[in-house]
Amino acid sequence: MLRWISFALVSVGAIALAGLALGGYLGFVTAPPAVPLVLALVPGWFPVGIVIAVVLVDRSSRYVLINPIVVDDEVVLRAHPRFAESVAAQ
């Protein structure tokens, strides 16, 4: 689910940016874009939206966190309770 949200977040901004660029190239956009649109794209989507998308992809691909190993015979894993129950049930 998080991967789909991050994909949608990146796609929306990229499509809007490509649409503005293509519209400007073809002559459909002759005036400068509106201030809210510029503010939504520049500080909103890039870099904030891209950073959020990267964090979402990172969170969706990492199921277990491993704490630093301080003792040779012990490894501490942190996982979501439902993921731990699923692994224990197998």
The whole-number pLDDT of residue 26 equals 94
- The answer on pLDDT for 29 being more than 90 is no
State both tokens at 12.
């929306």
Task: Give the separation between CA 87 and CA 64, rounded to whole angstroms.
Answer: 11
> Tell me, what's the pLDDT at 45?
85
Summarize pLDDT for 33-79 with one digit per residue, the tens.
888 888 888 888 888 888 888 888 888 877 788 889 999 999 888 88
Give residue 49's pLDDT: 84
User: Domain extents for the chain?
Assistant: 2-89
Cβ-based neighbours of 65, under 8 Å, separated by 6 or more: 77, 78, 79
Query: What's the pLDDT band for 22 if we cut at 50, 70, 90?
Result: very high
Rounded Cα distance between 43 and 54, Å, is 16
Q: Kindly state the greatest CA–CA separation across the chain.
A: 68
Q: Give the model's pLDDT for residue 33.
A: 84
Question: By the 8 A CB rule, do 2 and 46 touch?
Answer: no
pLDDT of residue 77: 87
